[in-house]
Amino acid sequence: MTLLLLSTADTDLLAARSVEDPAMPLRLANPVRTPEPDLDGVALVLVRLLGGRRAWDGFDALLAACAERRIPVVAVGGEGAPDAELTAASTVPSGVVADAAAYLREGGPGNLRELVAFLSDTVLLTGHGFAPAVTLPAYGVRGARALDPARPTVGVVYYRAHELSGNTAFVDVLCDAVEAAGGNALPVYVGSLRPDADGRVAAVEELLAGRVDTLVVTVLAGGGSNASDSESWDARALSALDVPVLQGLCVTSSRAEWAASDAGLAPIDAAMQVAIPEFDGRLIGAPFSFKESGPDGVPVYVADPERAARVAGTAVAHARLRHVPNGEKNVALVLSSYPTKHSRVGNAVGLDTPASAVKLLQAMRAAGYDVGAFPEDGDTLVHTLIAAGGHDVEWLTEDQLRAAVARVPLADYETWFATLPDTLRTGMLEHWGPPPGSLYVDDGDIVLAALQYGRVVLMIQPPRGFGENPIAIYHDPDLPPSHHYLAAYRWLEQSFGAHAVVHVGKHGTLEWLPGKGLGLSAGCAPDAVLGDLPLFYPFIVNDPGEGTQAKRRAHATVVDHLVPPMARAESYDEMAQLEQLLDEYAQVQAMDP
């Protein structure tokens, strides 16, 4: 006589697997992965469907099969409120369904053990005896990690169900990585982040407000599973923290499936863990936890230490920005150049980037940043940058290469290059030869097109396109970045010590480098090039598609700017004067030849 527990929440199955001495044997399965559950020897079926009846296409078939075998069915939803449709579909009294839902809502192995006894007694009349559901904390802090006031603090938010089921190893790996990256880790479990009627989330106000500098969230937007949740969801509680919020990706596939996928994330993960959280303004981190097959078919959550280190490093880098005084921050302003011509330096869609760079530097100066003595005019600024040596090989001279201030010694680059995954390193060697390559090299040093003003570096983004058709190469999905490209960003982080990078205007090439479409690995070029550096990206507001690419593949904080005002396309400056003289000449010639 067996109880079959079918739940779309793997945490239910993990908690049930930990139950000691249940009143009746348990058979566990996730209906999404088990379209036709085995009913042989089953005396009672308990179904929990997050998202309601529509979450499982096989629910009607199960009801029919159970009716044929006269097996009672208890069907409950995944929310706090009763699911009327599932209650009506159950073949036991509604009171039994409500009590069963209460046990599951409180969760944990203890309540699961009493739930089994409760159903055994009330439905099968076995007389084992049972205790009522025990109310467990709705939220709390895991453990007691040390919080050093000299370090920035990163909050890690995860589901209460993981805490109660003992599925917390992936949280511990991430928190350990945060501490290894130089931050404090504050792990907090919650039932959801859904605000109450006043827009408040108690866990956020009591455990996180005023205590964290950055938040890594593995909980979905709203924390619920119904469409109505996302429709009524707002981010006021998280916004009130006034800290960067990163979405740490706990994907539903195995690590092997993810590693073999060019897309990176399955559609369900792309929707629930990326697209919906983006509406909150969350930054998109790397996938760091995967579901691996357990010995009894129940998935086990396993963290990838390397990807956890990427999420932690990015989070700590953002958190550190609150602690470093503005006057001590090193910032890089990167101008795109497409194609690689002096005439195209700073080319961005709908933005005057030289003038905008000047405005940004002036604003930074007013905010206490060390910006040195920079040209206060956009034209002068960009011409100064070009005169120092750009990437246009038709104009670049040996003297400019020798005089360049920003340069990467070969030994430094070889050290950075050796840390890359084999797949990326092999591809770069095949396309560009051994370091330092042949591009922008002077006496073994890799030369970068950059100027430094105080603690600010103004840099031209390294080129992607070369040869007879440089434009076609820019978005080649198979061409790895050159040694020069990688060296530039590694120099910003490792040698210049940048606290943040600003890509001035749509769009650069980093977010289009080869790699997975979403959920990047260490072997994906954008991840390898940018590393943990916080990236801020002024981007034209009318192109959310390409801005999303930067958010998802380069953890960018996108700052929208308006489109330029519309104006009649007419002649200007000297051309307008020439046009006027020609008109006057034509009139005079017609009146008095």
Q: How far apart are CA 308 and CA 324, in angstroms?
A: 24
Query: Residue 216: enclosing H or E segment and its boundaries?
Result: strand 214-217
Q: How far apart are CA 504 and CA 174, in angstroms?
A: 32
pLDDT for 342 equals 77
Do 212 and 320 form a contact (C-beta atoms < 8 A)?
no
Instruction: Note the pTM of the prediction, 2 decimals.
Output: 0.91
Q: How many Cα neighbours within 13 Å face the side chain of 272?
A: 18
**R_g of the chain, CA atoms, integer Å:** 30
Q: How far apart are CA 70 and CA 354, in angstroms?
A: 76
pLDDT for 438 equals 87
Rounded mean pLDDT for each run of 10 residues along the chain, 593 residues in total: 94 93 94 90 96 92 96 92 93 96 95 97 95 96 95 97 94 98 98 84 94 95 46 74 96 95 94 90 96 85 97 98 97 88 83 95 98 95 88 82 89 97 96 92 92 96 71 75 95 97 93 95 97 97 93 95 87 90 92 85
Q: How far apart are the first and last CA of the chain?
A: 113
Peptide bond into 477 cis (omega under 30): no
pLDDT for 228 equals 42
Return the SS3 of 36. Answer: coil
Scored b (16 or more CB within 10 A) or e, 61-81 reads ebbebbeeeebbbbbbbbbee
Do 37 and 29 form a contact (C-beta atoms < 8 A)?
yes
Do 35 and 56 form a contact (C-beta atoms < 8 A)?
no
Q: 3: which residues sit within 8 A by CB, 6+ positions away?
A: 22, 24, 25, 26, 27, 42, 43, 44, 45, 46, 116, 119, 120
Cross-strand partners of 191: none
